[in-house]
Structure 1
Amino acid sequence: MLRPVLLALLLSGTATLAQAKPETVPLLREIKEWVIGCDNLRNCHALSAPSGVDEEDYSSLTLHIWHQAGAEGYLRLRFDHRGEALDLATLRLDGQPLGLELTRDLHVELDDQGGDPEVRSYGVIEEAAARRWLQALRDGKRLELPDDKDAHVSLSGLSASLLLIDAVQGRVDNLTALARPGKGAASAVPARLPTPVLRKFPGAPALTAQEQAGLVAAALRPITPEVNGTGGEPEASAGALTAQQAMTVVRYDCAAYNCEYDVVSRQRQAPYAETTLQLESLPLEDAALQGSVGYDPATGTLSYFYKQRGIGDCGGGGVWVFDGKGFQLSEFKMMPRCTGVAYGDWPSLWSTAPAP
């Protein structure tokens, strides 16, 4: 018979092993005032996102934290401020100045990718500096800019978010952990998962005018007034997939800023019979091809962008690339909270490498 102390130790060890079971990725989670996304490689991104829906919950200041998977994965912080230029050196943590050691780590970032000119970014790009910031913020409650009543970051949920990232990346109690650093060697951190490499789109002969007309007519045929509902006139487009197949996309039953779509692969010749559409599934249960959908025959890409509200600062989006047989998922992002963050800064849940 096992002694009580030995039994307790065994049970404790079992609980530890159970807790160490890695999280399934991709992962998207909301923890208090934060949203966390980890992609298929276990790279993670946490961003501040007020959970309330009232205007007083809006914040013009967003804090992003990126931690790449693997022992040497980079750590980076970035503040985005929407509005007039303000000096982030004036940031207050629970009403107190941050101090020179932290504010000198902030570097103004120039936007060279055509982003919103009203958004100004300030990065903390060195590993040691980013860890100093997280150490200071973990036990705090609120960051704010005294000259902008809307510029604030709630730190409620930050520690739990960092612990989740550590768990996803196998860093709990490791020297490289963000929430709870321990004595574990960096070499013990699991390597980043292999990046899926996309197969090339082989291209296809462009549709003739006759093929275009026939495919569009075939695609529109099932969209009866009953199916279309109260939306305007349905619209259809067609593009080549292969020498024998084409893609048709029909937009119908539009309401506000989203529409219904019928996406079908067909034979290029009459009677334009439907063929099996091989589309790699989105890796989260609540994600779907919806919102605004388009196919580009020049690049073989099918994409969607779903907006939860008109300005497009929340929802989902994805891109697939056709390889001659089926569509490979190339990109997938989701943002469950509407906080003014543009699509490019939504959590990335699927990462790939372009075809060589």
Structure 2
Amino acid sequence: MADMPLHMNLSVAKPLLLPLALAGLFITPAQAQSLPKDYRDWSVNCSNIKTCTAISISGLNEMGIGTRPRGVAVDTEMGWLWVELEAGPSAKPKIIYSGLYDASQTSNKEGSLRIVGRDGRPLANGVFVLTAHESGASQLRGADVDRFIAVAKSGQAIVYSSGTSRTVQSFASLSGFVAALRAIEALQGRTGTVAAWVDVGKLARERVPPAPAAPRVNALGFTKLSSRTTVPKLVSDRRKAECDDSDRLDPGGQGIEGFNLGKGRTLWAIPCGAGAYNMWSKFYLQTNSTKLEPYRFSTPEPAADEEDANSLVNVSIEPETGQISAFSKGRGIGDCGSAETYTWDGTNFVLTSLIEMNACSGLMPDFWPVRIKTEMVAPIKSKR
């Protein structure tokens, strides 16, 4: 998704988000961001560059929140509404809507949204035209954003009809909408300025801080060791000691992979266990023939279990780009969880990308909010 990337019912004994490392990797000040937080039927997620996304999470949510608007049939689908707002004084919200379980499915995306009150009737000035968005969802016209927010602050829900039809095909709750926007305004420094939409004040727009610059990371490629390389005994011993489930998942340790990071450093990836829809691997850094230490990856959250800090779930390794990616599914269909990418910069695997969706609401990863965004520089040739 170009403009917007967009509890848990885990069946494995591994955390959805891995704990913060005490060694091996750091988070720069520019990567500091607020934790995702729910406001009734809305969830707010802000990135390291203070781009914030508020998403209605009432659709198919396991927590059972959300109230069906009066007059809407019981078999009417729940939809999703996104409000994305970049930091800075001149930024303007983008509002996206989808009434489909898979928001990227091809369908007639043009239609209308109506903001309704407690009685199920549209509020004054509460009808809006939607246009097709390149993501597959629908988008509110930019000229209508201010009016939408002004009316939605008094609304109970939005209802969607495709084309020129008046038949309600999906809906989303507005319960918590105001609180979600208020939280975003506070984090971005809009409160009390004319650049706010909820807590509007008289302070000049220029009082709103500019958006932080995205961290810049120079990626460095590395090489995969040949499959004929003999796995050192200290690696196989560590597998035996720390991966009780590995024989079922990976008989004989045939899936162990080694990667030359340069300067005498080898990274070992050991398949360690699996559940119904998640598989995890442990990573170890070897710096000489006798020294093997867990390589601890970082996440934005404080440490929860240091023992698992060197684990990643559903791993994909791309030596040419210097990247290791992981995808922790919250449930089998993959509509909640987290997906992160670590990039080798010659010293550390830096957390360069993170998207996350806590609510299992049917949204696929292309629509999950971004928590970490980095300006990537193409890999340069490694000097061994």
Measured in 2, the distance between the counterparts of 1:92 and 1:49 equals 17
* Equivalent of 1:62 in 67, 80, 84: 80
Q: Structure 1, residues 335-354: CA drift from partner, whole Å, max 9, x if none? A: 11100111122121111111
Which structure would you say has the larger Rg? 1
d(CA) in 1 for partners of 2:353, 2:223: 26
Q: Which runs of 5+ in 2 are unaligned?
A: 1-31, 68-75, 102-106, 379-384
Q: Quick one: which of 145, 149, 154 aligns to 1:134?
A: 149
Instruction: Give the 3 Å change call, closer, same or farther, for CA 205–342 of structure 1 in structure 2.
Output: closer
Q: State the identity %.
A: 22
Q: Distance in 2 between matches of 1:242 and 1:148?
A: 63
Matched residues in 1 for 2:158 and 2:141: separation? 19
2:209 is the counterpart of 1:190: yes
Distance apart, 1:97 and its partner CA: 4.5
Q: 1:122 aligns with which of 118, 138, 157?
A: 138
The match for 1:336 among 329, 339, 358 is 358
Matched, 1:49 2:57: yes
CA distance in 1, matches of 2:97, 2:260: 43
Look up the match of 2:272: 252
2:80 is paired with a residue whose SS is strand
Shift of 1:163: 0.3
> Does residue 282 of the first structure (1) align with residue 299 of the second (2)?
yes
The alpha-carbon distance between structure 1 residues 200 and 221, as it changes in their structure 2 partners (threshold 3 A), is same
Counterpart Cα distance in 2 of 1:342 and 1:182: 38
| Correspondence 1:283-322 to 2 at 5 A | 283-285=300-302, 290-322=312-344
Indicate yes or no: 2:126 matched with 1:110: no
Structure 1 vs Structure 2 CA RMSD? 3.2
Matched length: 317
Counterpart of 1:194, as a letter, is A
Q: Structure 1 residue 233 and structure 2 residue 249: aligned? A: yes
Shift of 1:99: 7.8
Pair 1:31-2:47 in alignment: no
88-97 or 181-190: which moved more? 88-97
Paired position in structure 2 for 1:117: none
Choose the corresponding residue for 1:167, options 181, 186, 199.
186
Partner of 1:347: 369
Residues 74 and 318 (structure 1 numbering): CA distance in 2 closer, same or farther, change over 3 Å? Answer: same
Give the partner amino acid of 1:141: Q
Inter-CA distance 100–169: structure 2 relative to 1 (3 Å threshold): closer
2:239 paired residue among 213, 223, 237? 223
In structure 2, give the amino acid aligned to 1:306: S
Query: How many angstroms does 1:195 deviate by?
Result: 1.5
Work out the CA distance in 1 between the residues paired with 2:123 and 2:245: 56
Contact persistence 1:33–1:48 (CA under 8 A): yes
CA–CA separation in structure 2 for the residues paired with 1:189 and 1:155: 26
1:323 to 342, 345, 363: 345
Of 220, 227, 242, the residue aligned with 2:262 is: 242
Distance 1:90 1:179 in 2: 21
Q: Which structure carries more helix by proportion? A: 1
Residues 109 and 132 in structure 2, CA contact (< 8 A), matched pair in contact too: no
Partners of 1:26 and 1:350 within 8 A in 2: no
Q: Which has the higher contact order (CA 8 A, sep 6+)?
A: 2
**Distance in 1, Cα, partners of 2:247 & 2:177:** 43
User: Could you give the per-residue CA deviations for residues 300-339 of structure 1, whole angstroms, max 9, x where no partner exists?
Assistant: 1112111110011111121111011111110112211100
Give 1:277 deviation, angstroms.
3.4
| Local SS of the residue matching 2:259 | strand
Question: What 5-or-longer segments of structure 1 have no aligned partner?
Answer: 1-23, 112-119
* Length-normalised TM-score, structure 2: 0.73
- Asked if the contact 2:89–2:208 (Cα under 8 Å) also holds between the matched residues in 1, the reply is yes
- Structure 2 distance, partners of 1:150, 1:62, is 12
Contact 1:231/1:255 (CA < 8 Å) preserved in 2? Answer: no
2: CA distance between counterparts of 1:168 and 1:343? 25
Q: How far off is 1:59 after superposition? A: 5.1
1:80 is aligned to 2:98: yes
Paired AA for residue 222 in structure 1: R
Deviation of 1:286 (Å): 7.3
Question: Does the 8 A contact of 2:224 with 2:257 survive in 1?
Answer: no
Residue pair 1:241, 1:300 contacting (<8 A) in 2 also: no
Whole-Å separation in 2 of the counterparts to 1:170 and 1:122: 29
